[in-house]
Amino acid sequence: MGSVRQNLIRSFLVISVLPFIVPVVCADDGYRMWLRYEQVQDAGLLAAYRNAISQVVIEESSPTMLAVKDELEMGLEGLLGRPVAFSTHITGSGALVAGTPSGSPLVASLGLEGRIEVLGADGFLIDQVTVSGNSAVVIAAASDIGVLYGAFHLLRLLQTHQSLSSLPVSSSPRVMHRVVNHWDNIRRLVERGYAGLSLWEWGTLPEYRHPRYTDYARLNASLGINGAAINNVNADARFLTGQFLEKIAVLADIFRPWGIKVYLSANFDSPRIIGGLDTADPLDPQVIEWWNKKAEEIYSYIPDLGGFLVKADSEGQPGPHGYGRDHADGANMLARAVKPFGGIVMWRAFVYDPGRTDRFREAWDEFVPLDGKFMDNVIVQVKNGPIDFQPREPFSPLFGALTNTNTMMEFQVTQEYFGFGIHLAYKGPMYTEILNADTYAAGEGSTVGMILEGKVFDYNLTGMAGVINPGTDRNWTGQPFVQSSWYAFGRLAWDHTLSAEALADEWLRMTFTNDDRFIGTVKEIMFRSREAAVNYRNPLGLTHLYAQGHHYGPAPWTEHHHRPDWGAVYYHRADEQGIGFDRTASGSNAVEQYHEPVASVFRDIERVPEDLLLWFHHVSWDHPMRSGRTLWDELVHKYYEGVKTVRWMQDAWDSVGEFIDRERYEHVRALLKIQERDALRWRNSCVLYFGSFSGKPLPEGLEPPEHDLEHYMDLERIIYVPDPWYGW
């Protein structure tokens, strides 16, 4: 595990061969993300930390405890500005003790078992104790992984300048499976990934273990993430063959000390594609036997494989419907295959049929009739909203509808609909908006977060998944602020009750600086960024106005596709009378899928939140809004507010350059200029297009678009989209 420290040194030091060796520290390129471990600059805090921690005592030597030792060594030396001694026994005051009662006689002697036991296998306790008259800080847990999580938390406290007088701290995860989903392909292109090629170098695995794999695992473990589905849900069946399993087994070996299990996205048609069968019918005995043997083979390579992630009967992916079967038939067949090995099946609920009248309804309509029919090692993975990771959606009505079926959340971190790896859009507020939404499934207080935690229904599996986009870019994510959404997802997967504001504060302090002059300004940028992204794209409940295929620029005029629900007109339904999708009883009646009083609020045009208005109602252009404006004037003002906010974000960022490194400052500054360009294009395209239906002029005092509508429509045909996957 000492390689972790060496990896970081190699990453940040350039060695010049002169008459003598001169180490030169590079500018900060963002590689370390939130694990920078820079020396504490507050003199009083630094002295207090040094006094509290002058040595580290670790008696255990499992691979995970060696990772704990390595992380504490690197983190404490960086934060305290001096090396810290390590030993297996206390030599005086100022010791940090880390371990489990079962593996460390010293920890066992502290009498903490009762306090640790209630925290579960992954929980941890950090406290101040006295050992033989010596003051000490202890990180104790029931498992080595719990100690690892506790070590990262202690380092977080020091990184964010928290006083150790606030101890004790105890924490345990609220959901079991905290999983990141990669949409990585065999050719190393990443679907909806905007930060370079896939991390996984299939051509050099299994022989070469890239140091980046370990750093990736560290980053995830620091948030409490314990699973990674390493390949695209639009799955290539070859990932299940021996030539790839031996490569993936190496990743599993690297991830294991960090508490991360590998999951595989499985192609439902694999028995046909790689198995030589003429069917993939989940009830066919040959197919069942094939999957049983395939599971046995996979687990021979990766004994602790977490299980399968499956996208089926969605966007052309094969599934049980092709054989006249339902989702429970398909999921249960795979669940039986992995159950003897302790595996689970995460079955995605992202399904829609081009023949239906409202895509919004489809997941609920397909899965609710199957409630209670799934095996207990199946967990249905539901996107946060009913359509597809839009900048704002109502919570999916499936949360609260599946009372007898394990259900988990699927959020997106990669910015498919938020400007890719270019725009600044902190998604923490979007995540908490959904997690704190009250479904009323079992009365008031039945929030989405509480359902995911298993506190509303008796789920035996719980979880949250986040689709992330790390690639070969040095800073992992392209736009540096995409890191903040990854961080927020991981922390919320551990504890959904955390606030987006607190997580933004943590991330900024760990990633940039603890200077409050920087923190205050940039936190405001982050919090205004999400609403700006909504306003210059899809205000007031508009949705899916994107150019098709890449989802980067605007194309509200798109309708002529081989399936209507891939075009923008399907969603906004603008005409001379008004705009919006009627989902009340006079339309698709999708509101009936929600519990009361949520359904009544959404169906009432006077009570529905205005930021969801056009999700549920087709509204007259002259409809009076709460601002006193008409719908048309309010819509236009929202588009203009979005651009105005991006311009404010530029000015605010310009004001904080002195507080951080030049490299990241200039990178973000340049990207904000591009974001303004794109926001203007979005605003002008949509205002001119919708104005062609309303027949109304721009509200007084607003600058007119620079060009006519035809100009902006022509831009859609200019391919400059920053997406390496698009077009392959």
Note if 654 is an active site residue: no
What does the block give as tokens for 412? 């997106």
Nearest 5°: the CA angle 278, 279, 281 is 170
312: left (phi over 0), alpha (psi -120 to 50) or beta: beta
Task: Decide if 315 is catalytic.
Answer: yes
Q: Does residue 391 contact residue 446 with C-beta atoms inside 8 Å? A: no
Cβ-contact 192, 416 below 8 angstroms: yes
Catalytic residue, chosen from 38, 113, 253, 388, is: 388
Q: Distance (Å, rounded) from C-alpha 218 to C-alpha 201?
A: 18
Residue 371 pairs with which residues in a beta bridge?
A: none
For residue 700, the tally of other CB atoms under 10 A from its CB is 6
Q: SS3 for 128?
A: strand
Distance CA 115, CA 10 (A): 41
Residue from 42, 246, 315, 376 carrying the catalytic annotation: 315
Return the sign of the alpha-carbon dihedral for residues 581, 587, 592, 597: positive
Cβ distance 482 to 423 under 8 Å? Answer: no
Those residues whose C-beta lies under 8 Å from the C-beta of residue 48, and which sit 6 or more positions away, are 163, 164
Q: Which residues pair with 179 in a beta bridge?
A: 227, 465
Percent helix, percent strand, percent coil in the chain, to nearest 5: 40, 15, 45
The verdict on whether 622 is a catalytic residue reads: no
Question: Would the CA dihedral through 307, 313, 315, 318 be positive or negative?
Answer: positive
Of the candidates 184, 358, 416, 506, the residue annotated as catalytic is: 416
Task: Taking the CA atoms of 586, 590, 593 and 599 in sequence, report the sign of the dihedral they define.
Answer: negative
496 near 442, Cβ under 8 Å?
no
Query: Pick from 360, 465, 446, 345: which is nearest to 403 by CA?
Result: 446
- At 661, the amino acid letter reads D
Cβ contact 345:378 at 8 Å:
yes
Amino acid at 724: P
CB 480 within 8 A of CB 29: no
Peptide bond into 168 cis (omega under 30): yes
Residue that is written with structure tokens 């306790």 in the block: 125
Rg, Å, the chain Cα set: 26
Residue 77, CA distances (Å) to 54, 223, 513, 650 in order: 10, 21, 18, 36
Looking at the annotation, which residues are catalytic? 315, 388, 416
